[in-house]
Amino acid sequence: MRIIAGKLKGTSLFMTKGKNTRPLKDRARESIFNLLLHSNKIFFNFKKANVLDLYAGTGSFGLECLSREAASVCFVEKEKSALEVLGKNIEKLKKKKKTSTLACDVLSLANRKNILKLKYHLIFCDPPFKFNNADTLIKFIYDKNLLQENGIVIIHLNKNTKEKLPENFKLIEERIYGISKIIFGKILY
């Protein structure tokens, strides 16, 4: 796995061993970033953007955002082995000052006050493939008021997942890559 574009293009990333995390494949990650930058429906500017990377794993998505000049990335991950590798990747890329890491389950943040202090321009959700509660994630983001106006939410799911999206989630784009389904949307406040 490597950084695809930007200032850190070509830099390889450390990966976890085992099956506790499912890394986002380079092809899918490259397609996501191409849509963010070139879609007539989405256009996204990374410069000065604050990014929230939920279920961050080894951090490939958030680190790619930093390579493209995002202002900051907050990583949320609970798996100890992934957190260790994430830390090594942040250190390798010398991005500690632009990152924060929360070692906990994403949905446990719903019960914690003021732990996520920013409003984010981009929120990437990459839950385990057995996860089938996209509506719960969207409700969490909405209830915590985490998304900037016109911010984008991206959810990476198994293509066979039958998600029920709440009415306040405006679907912008949906793509299938192999066994993955990527959903792009906005939350209406």
Q: What pLDDT is attached to residue 111?
A: 81
91-103 pLDDT, tens digit per residue, is 999 999 999 999 9
38-89 pLDDT, tens digit per residue, is 988 988 999 999 999 999 999 999 999 999 999 999 999 999 999 999 999 9
Q: What pLDDT is attached to residue 140?
A: 92
Q: What pLDDT is attached to residue 18?
A: 65
8-30 pLDDT, tens digit per residue, is 999 999 998 866 566 677 788 88
pLDDT band at 174 (very low <50, low <70, confident <90, very high): very high
Residue 5: count of CB within 10 angstroms of its CB? 14
Residue 67: count of CB within 10 angstroms of its CB? 21
140-166 pLDDT, tens digit per residue, is 999 999 999 999 999 999 888 888 889
Distance CA 166, CA 184 (A): 14
Cα separation values, 153 from 45, 79, 121, 135, 138, Å = 14, 23, 9, 12, 9
Q: What pLDDT is attached to residue 1?
A: 86
CATH number of the structural domain 41-187: 3.40.50.150
Amino acid at 23: P
Token reading at 119: 């409003």
Distance CA 75, CA 63 (A): 10
Segment among 115-119, 142-146, 168-172 with least mean pLDDT: 115-119
What are the residue ranges of helices labelled H in the chain? 26-38, 60-67, 80-92, 134-143
